[in-house]
């Protein structure tokens, strides 16, 4: 019998379980997490937040006062951890939460001389760090109402990650400390928790120290889960499935960890079933084992079935392994582990192969922040960002330079996006290895993961013997935990030295022209572009203006170490031994405002899309050459008042055979398209209409026009989805565009747009993609930048109809109706 949706969701261990319901259904993913909470409950709501102080205990809720922190268990650790503490003055927040978003941008009081990079630019000019003790520590409080029937269960909290240096207190007791800002951690609270009572969870987060050279956010920017299990259970990440196709069949080696956290011996029966995405069972087996009290064991089985449905980028089929653990016939645990069946091979001479077919990696490097919300990206926004990358033609994602959220990884599994995931620190100290181990254990069942990256541009070690030793230690650990996937490292120099031979695949950050020589020298090592291209562009701008920190959006400007999109891709596209490349970057991100690297720039210019995900012109270059559909993209806009008669460079990114350009109906000639290259004309400006007509296989495509627009007259408000889940998490990505009276986009419009919301939803952040903007992210008003702005609308936990109106002085407003249920 085919189980109903309800049945499938019950007891599933994670978000991906729900995604296997057939076609990818992002709207249902997060809901499933909450609906599936037999073991796990997500603690997103009802948190209170206040800033503490990194130096002064009196302003840090007495944390560290009188050196009393560890003196007596549960005593005097912090006033904020006490049950009776009055937190009514604290802000009420939802997770994920990034408090850096609410901090102002602050210029360096002692900037370096003009011409030099400002070291404060890298992290995006937020007042975080040891120089800013008053804004670098955050405190969170949450009341855990634990039902009485949890008595006798093992209880734990799972943090998907927090930035950074976390002290977790329950009922006033320190229950855990964790430093790394990107790695998940688990806290056993069984001994301290009081089922049947209100339990006070307090978390101190200290973001004083950075781990990256970019904006990193601050606080509980990922989910926190409460996990309740029987004493006999499958521990976190305790199911490993290594599946492979065998002809048209499938074979899956399954290893299940079991834990007995009680005195009595337990005779366990573990029933395993493999279920396909339609919910049809395709294989089953049973194993038994005896677990002594307070002991661990493993059971292993190999399951096989016929007519395998492979996971691929086009059809990302996911199976689930469902493990049910019984003791004396009583069901004590049910653990679901999604997995896929596919082969992924890097060949030094011929590149990457998925399921035996050559597949160029068309990748993007991405950071984990977005306009409006910083590092606290709602799950649906993770999916939305990946949708934009797929629309551009990407089939691969490099998580630079840290493990991403599990929800992003779930979405890559479900959407068929290949991932190179990366640990934050290239180091072999205990903490770094523990983070690496957590990364591999968490993600080793995922079909999307094709390589583990051990690090990025570690100039002090990448070319040295010491680096080789560190890399070898890291690779050894990875191979123990997951012998099925290769390792890689991203280098910017020292190719062939130090860590190079210690990893399977060598990643070239930029330096695409060096790859040919390397391949000739080391023909046995697969290579890929771990960071490629890196044109700097401001969306919608076409003239460099250093005073205003603007770079043109032609594919022309790049840092000295990098290249244009066209330069790297023409090289990589034609060389099969280059497995592919990951552009730097998919989206603009906060910090690293190259080429200016000084106030007032606060965000990067590297993205093919801006920080809101609005395409820049390079997006269309990649889309033309990375996707099969015929495409003609014409730029710049055609509003150049005051420049009449002056030559304007007009570019076309097109993948058709030929393009003819017209100005006000007059042909300016036609040009043949050369693969992977743009077309360019120089056109004396006259207002009106510039038009590109593409021809493919003798057929004319619909013409593409840019028209001289009049003054701003009205607003067009749209949302990517108008039917939302009323779960307090789901979001609609709202876009505002400024149009003239004839409905033409006004390219330079800078209008202060205000969003009014009625109904059960709220705006959680706004943005406009301008790397120089210092406007507040958490606001309901935003200037449009070159005609566009974005607002992120998040639902409440009650359903109903939602009306959003976008208005600006002197413009006709626009209203959008949505529904949450």
CB neighbours of 600 closer than 8 A, spacing ≥ 6? 107, 549, 772, 774
**Which of 488, 537, 594, 708 is in the footprint of ligand GAL by CB under 6 A?**
594
* Residue 516 is a catalytic residue: no
Dihedral Cα 422, 424, 428, 434, nearest 10 deg:
-90
Tokens of 496: 């062939």
Beta carbon of residue 558, minimum distance to ligand GAL (angstroms, whole number) = 9
Question: Using CB under 6 A, which residues numbered 365 to 424 contact ligand GAL?
Answer: 400-401
Are the C-beta atoms of residues 633 and 620 closer than 8 Å to each other?
yes
CB neighbours of 112 closer than 8 A, spacing ≥ 6? 118, 119
Are the C-beta atoms of residues 85 and 169 closer than 8 Å to each other?
no
- # binding residues, ligand GAL (CB under 6 A): 13
Beta carbon of residue 781, minimum distance to ligand GAL (angstroms, whole number) = 32
Count of H-run helices and E-run strands, the chain:
10, 46
592 near ligand GAL, judged by CB under 6 A: yes
Which one from 407, 422, 457, 691 is the annotated catalytic residue?
457
Which one, 42 or 401, has the nearer CB to ligand GAL? 401
Angle at 131 between CA 126 and CA 136, to 5 degrees: 60
DSSP per position, 11-33: T--SHHHHHTTSS--HHHHHHHH
DSSP per position, 83-107: TT---TTSEEE-SS--GGGGSPP--
**Which of 171, 456, 784, 794 is in the footprint of ligand GAL by CB under 6 A?**
456
509 near ligand GAL, judged by CB under 6 A: yes
**Which of 60, 435, 492, 617 is in the footprint of ligand GAL by CB under 6 A?**
492
**Which of 336, 457, 504, 796 is in the footprint of ligand GAL by CB under 6 A?**
457
Longest dimension (CA), the chain: 89
559 near ligand GAL, judged by CB under 6 A: yes
595 near ligand GAL, judged by CB under 6 A: no
**Which of 584, 605, 620, 651 is in the footprint of ligand GAL by CB under 6 A?**
584
Beta carbon of residue 634, minimum distance to ligand GAL (angstroms, whole number) = 29
Which one, 324 or 531, has the nearer CB to ligand GAL? 531
Distances, alpha carbon 235 to alpha carbons 125, 201, 481, in Å: 41, 22, 16
Question: Using CB under 6 A, which residues numbered 184 to 213 contact ligand GAL?
Answer: 213
Beta carbon of residue 367, minimum distance to ligand GAL (angstroms, whole number) = 8
Cα separation of 702 and 714, whole Å?
A: 26
216 near ligand GAL, judged by CB under 6 A: no
Which one, 416 or 581, has the nearer CB to ligand GAL? 581
Which one, 380 or 425, has the nearer CB to ligand GAL? 425
Beta carbon of residue 490, minimum distance to ligand GAL (angstroms, whole number) = 7
Q: Which residue is nearest to ligand GAL (CB)?
A: 457
**Which of 324, 531, 541, 796 is in the footprint of ligand GAL by CB under 6 A?**
531
Question: Using CB under 6 A, which residues numbered 600 to 619 contact ligand GAL?
Answer: none
Radius of gyration (C-alpha) of the chain in whole angstroms = 27
Which one, 61 or 584, has the nearer CB to ligand GAL? 584
Beta carbon of residue 346, minimum distance to ligand GAL (angstroms, whole number) = 21
Dihedral class, residue 777 (left if φ above 0, else alpha if ψ from -120 to 50, else beta): alpha
Beta carbon of residue 455, minimum distance to ligand GAL (angstroms, whole number) = 10
Tokens of 541: 């701008």
Strand partners, 634: 652
Beta carbon of residue 563, minimum distance to ligand GAL (angstroms, whole number) = 11
Are the C-beta atoms of residues 739 and 713 closer than 8 Å to each other?
yes
Burial 179-207 (b: 16+ CB within 10 A, else e): ebbbbbbbbebbebbebeeebbbbbbbbb
Which one from 435, 458, 531, 557 is the annotated catalytic residue?
531
Which one, 337 or 537, has the nearer CB to ligand GAL? 537
Which one, 511 or 744, has the nearer CB to ligand GAL? 511
Cα separation of 178 and 168, whole Å?
A: 9
Give the footprint of ligand GAL on this chain (CB under 6 A): 213, 400-401, 456-457, 492, 509, 531, 534, 559, 584, 592, 594
Q: Which residues are catalytic?
A: 457, 531
């Amino acid at each position: 019998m085919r189980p109903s949706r309800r049945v499938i969701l019950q007891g599933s261990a994670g978000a991906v379980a729900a995604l296997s319901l057939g076609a990818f259904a992002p709207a249902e993913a997060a809901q499933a997490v909450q609906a599936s909470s037999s073991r796990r409950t997500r603690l997103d709501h009802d948190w209170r937040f206040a800033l503490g102080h990194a130096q002064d205990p009196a302003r840090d809720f007495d944390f560290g006062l009188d050196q009393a922190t560890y003196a007596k268990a549960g005593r005097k650790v912090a006033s904020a951890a006490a049950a009776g503490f009055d937190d009514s003055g604290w802000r009420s927040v939802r997770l994920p939460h990034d408090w850096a978003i609410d901090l102002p941008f602050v210029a360096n009081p002692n900037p370096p001389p003009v011409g030099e990079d400002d070291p404060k630019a890298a992290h995006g000019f937020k007042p975080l760090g040891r120089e800013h003790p008053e804004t670098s520590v955050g405190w969170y409080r949450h009341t855990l109402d634990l039902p009485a029937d949890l008595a006798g269960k093992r209880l734990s909290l799972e943090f998907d990650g927090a930035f950074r240096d976390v002290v977790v207190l329950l009922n006033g007791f320190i229950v855990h400390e964790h430093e790394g800002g990107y790695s998940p951690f688990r806290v056993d609270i069984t001994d301290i928790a009081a089922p049947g009572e209100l339990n006070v969870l307090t978390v101190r987060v200290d973001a004083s120290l950075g781990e990256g050279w970019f904006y990193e956010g601050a606080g509980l920017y990922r989910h926190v889960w409460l996990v309740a299990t029987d004493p006999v259970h499958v521990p976190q990440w305790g199911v490993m499935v290594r599946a492979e196709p065998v002809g048209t069949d499938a074979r899956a080696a399954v290893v299940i960890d079991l834990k007995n956290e009680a005195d009595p011996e337990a005779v366990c029966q573990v029933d395993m079933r493999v279920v396909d995405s339609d919910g049809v069972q395709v294989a089953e087996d049973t194993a038994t084992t005896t677990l002594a009290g307070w002991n661990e064991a493993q059971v292993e089985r190999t399951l096989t079935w016929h007519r395998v449905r492979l996971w691929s980028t086009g059809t990302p089929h996911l199976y689930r392994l469902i493990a049910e653990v019984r003791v004396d016939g009583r069901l004590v645990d049910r653990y679901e582990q999604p997995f896929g069946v596919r082969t992924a091979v890097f060949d030094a001479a011929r590149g990457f192969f998925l399921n035996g077919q050559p597949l160029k990696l068309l990748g993007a490097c991405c950071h984990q922040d977005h306009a409006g919300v910083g590092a606290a990206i709602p799950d649906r926004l993770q999916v939305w960002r990946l949708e934009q990358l797929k629309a551009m033609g990407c089939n691969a994602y490099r998580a630079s330079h840290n493990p991403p959220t599990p929800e992003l990884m779930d979405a890559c599994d479900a959407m068929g996006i290949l991932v190179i995931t990366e640990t934050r620190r290239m180091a072999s100290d205990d903490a770094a290895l523990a983070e690496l181990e957590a990364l591999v254990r968490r993600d080793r069942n995922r079909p999307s993961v094709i390589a583990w990256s051990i690090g990025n541009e570690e100039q002090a070690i990448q070319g040295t013997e010491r680096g080789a030793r560190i890399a070898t230690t890291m690779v050894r650990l990875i191979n123990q935990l997951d012998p099925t996937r290769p390792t890689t490292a991203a280098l910017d120099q020292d190719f062939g030295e130090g860590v190079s031979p210690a990893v399977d695949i060598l990643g070239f950050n930029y330096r695409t022209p060096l790859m040919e020589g390397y391949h000739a020298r080391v023909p046995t090592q697969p290579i890929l572009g771990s960071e490629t291209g890196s044109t700097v562009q401001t969306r919608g701008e076409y003239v460099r203006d250093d005073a205003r920190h603007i770079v043109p959006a032609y594919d022309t400007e790049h840092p000295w170490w990098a290249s244009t999109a066209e330069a790297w891709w023409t090289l990589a596209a034609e060389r099969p031994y280059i497995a592919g490349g990951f552009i730097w970057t998919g989206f603009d991100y906060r910090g690293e405002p190259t080429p200016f690297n000084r106030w007032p720039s606060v965000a990067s210019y590297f993205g093919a899309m801006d920080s809101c995900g609005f395409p820049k012109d390079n997006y269309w270059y990649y889309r033309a050459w990375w996707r099969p559909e015929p495409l003609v993209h014409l730029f710049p806009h055609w509003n150049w008042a005051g420049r009449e008669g002056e030559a304007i460079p007009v570019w076309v990114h097109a993948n058709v055979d030929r393009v003819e350009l017209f100005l006000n109906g007059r042909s300016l000639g036609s040009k043949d398209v050369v693969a992977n290259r743009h077309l360019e004309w120089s056109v004396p400006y006259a207002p009106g209409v510039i038009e590109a007509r593409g021809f493919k296989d003798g057929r004319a495509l619909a013409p593409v026009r840019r028209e001289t627009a009049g003054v701003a007259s009205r607003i067009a408000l749209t949302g990517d989805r108008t039917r939302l889940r009323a779960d307090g998490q789901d979001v609609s990505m709202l876009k505002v565009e400024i149009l003239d009276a004839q409905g033409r986009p006004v390219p330079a419009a800078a209008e202060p747009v205000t969003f009014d919301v009625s109904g059960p939803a709220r705006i959680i952040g706004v943005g406009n993609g301008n790397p120089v903007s210092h406007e507040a992210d958490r606001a309901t008003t935003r200037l449009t930048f070159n005609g566009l702005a974005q607002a992120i609308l998040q639902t409440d936990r009650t359903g109903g109809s939602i009306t959003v109106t976008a208005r600006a002085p002197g413009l006709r407003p626009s209203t959008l109706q949505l529904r949450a249920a």
